[in-house]
Structure formats: structure tokens, C-alpha cells
Amino acid sequence: MSTRAAKTPATTPVAAPAKSRRPRKTQLPAAAPVAAQAAATPPSMAPAARYFRRKRAAPTARASTGAAPLARGEVDLSQTPLEQLRLAQLTPRTLIAPNFRAYELTQSDLASRRGIHNGFDSEQHLRSAIHLARHVLQPVRDAFGSFTPNSVYRSQALERTLKNKPATWVSTSQHARGEACDIEIVGMATLALAAWARDHLDDFDQIICECYDPRQGPNSGWVHISLKAPGQGANRRQCLSYVPDASGRLVYVPGLQAMA
């Protein structure tokens, strides 16, 4: 059935029909709130509007403990208590401190060149290394900016290769327990870094200024810092230097000092 009205003869006077008005479209300002846009959206577009709102929703806040997914699908364990950490949880890029990832605790150029396995051999060594990262590496990073430690954990195989020892030798170094790191900050005198660590770290077992010779530039040598994890004994808060004696042999001496 047609919806058009029949024509009226010209001789019959009739009132002019009222003009039909097309419904006015609601104009929203460009920056209208999402809720107003959704109200003006036709029913057929409702699913798209709901999808848009989900995409713009604020991200869920990270829990204070436990793992939280990162944007790239990585895992954040930086706030997870030590006793809850497991080797099986870690991937190389797992965040174990606010600015440090798991791979930085075991990386070694020597191990890579020689094909030496340098993974943690126990969860206690893992926890000790993460405790060190949170309470030594992170404060240094907060103070001086981004850096990568020279060395943290070293397996027994890597220790033997590094120190040219036989296969039966067992290292007693704190590196082999995940309790020590060797660090330097580009452009900062090694002795000054050692003194900063002594004066600003909440706790430490040993700080050793190793092989620092100012004649060779500010970054000669390195700073060895160790820290025992909770339950692993009291920290000694000992400061030493590794410098040549009168005969030229490298020895440990009390205090922080440069090579003569």
C-alpha cells in the first residue's frame, strides 16, 4: 500500500497540509564524554560502543605482592617476597627489582664465550641474588641512573674457569652463592663509588675497592659489594681494598683506598 496521499481536485478548497519535519540529529561536541556518545549511538552500534569503552578502561593496578602481567606479556616479581620466589617462575626478562631483570643476575661474557652454564643451582642462591639486586643494585641505580652489573652470580664451573682452577676445586666466593656483585658507574671514580656505597646502603657484608688505579682513569678497577640474604647470617659491614703490596702482589687491606 502506498504511503503517498491522493491528489485533491483543484476546485475543492482545502487547508494546506502541515509540512512534516525530519527529526533533527543530535550534534555532539567533539570532546563529548563517552557516556553521551553511547546514548546517541543507534542500537545497531551498541556492541562497538561497549567494545570501545572496554579498550579505554584504566588498567588494573598491580598487586603489592605476587606476579602481575606487564604490557609485553612479561612478569613482574619485583615486589614478591623472597620466600615465595621459585626458579620455575623466572624467564630471562622477569622483573625481579624495580629496574633489574633476571638475566642481569647471571649474565657473563666469559660464560657466553666458553659455553659455560651459569644458571642458579638452588632457589636459595636465586633468592640471595634477588635480595642483593633489591637492596644494593637498585639503590645504586636510583642514585646514579641506569647501569648493568659486571657480575653477580657465578656458578662453580664459571668460577673455576675464571680463576683457572681444577675441576675438583670448590669456590667459597660470595658470587657463587648469589650474595655479591661487581659494579662500576661510567665516569665515576671507583673509589668514590665504594665510599658512596659505604655511606648510603642500608646494610652490606663487604665493600671492596678492587684494583683502582687513578692513573688509569676513573673507571679502572671495580667495586665488589656483598650482602647476605635474611637467615644467612649477620652482615659484617667490612670495607677493604685490593691493592698491590710492597712486592707488587695484590692483597686485601683494611679500608678503602687507591693503588699507590
Query: Degrees (nearest 5) of the Cα angle 23, 25, 27?
Result: 155
Look-up: residue for cell 647501569? 147
* Sign of CA pseudo-dihedral 196, 197, 198, 203: positive
Return the pLDDT at 69. Answer: 54
Q: Per-residue pLDDT for 191 more than 70?
A: yes
- pLDDT bracket for residue 72 (50, 70, 90): low
Is residue 235 a contact partner of residue 203, using CB atoms and an 8 Å limit? yes
Residue 80, Cα to own-chain centre: how many angstroms? 13
Is residue 193 a contact partner of residue 149, using CB atoms and an 8 Å limit? no
Lowest mean pLDDT among 34-43, 91-100, 195-204, 240-249: 34-43
Residue among 242, 235, 238, 239 nearest 258 (CA): 242
Return the pLDDT at 260. Answer: 85
* CA 68/CA 186 separation, integer angstroms: 33
* CA 180/CA 204 separation, integer angstroms: 10
Residue among 239, 225, 75 nearest 152 (CA): 225
Is residue 139 a contact partner of residue 97, using CB atoms and an 8 Å limit? no
The residue-averaged pLDDT of 180-193 equals 97
Residue among 92, 97, 69, 72 nearest 82 (CA): 97
Cα separations in angstroms, 163 against 52, 59, 173, 189, 240: 60, 49, 11, 26, 21
The residue-averaged pLDDT of 27-35 equals 45
Report the topology of domain 68-254.
Muramoyl-pentapeptide Carboxypeptidase; domain 2 (3.30.1380)
- pLDDT bracket for residue 70 (50, 70, 90): low
Bridge partners (DSSP) listed for residue 68:
76
Q: Per-residue pLDDT for 193 more than 80?
A: yes
Look-up: residue for cell 652490606? 204
The residue-averaged pLDDT of 121-144 equals 98
Q: Where does residue 235 rank: exposed (0-12), middle (13-18), buried (19+ CB within 10 A)?
A: middle
Global model pTM greater than 0.75: no
* CA 240/CA 167 separation, integer angstroms: 30
Residue among 102, 122, 138, 99 nearest 227 (CA): 138
Q: Per-residue pLDDT for 166 more than 80?
A: yes
Is residue 223 a contact partner of residue 209, using CB atoms and an 8 Å limit? yes
Q: Where are the domains of the chain?
A: 68-254
Q: Per-residue pLDDT for 213 more than 90?
A: yes
| Mean per-residue pLDDT of the chain | 82
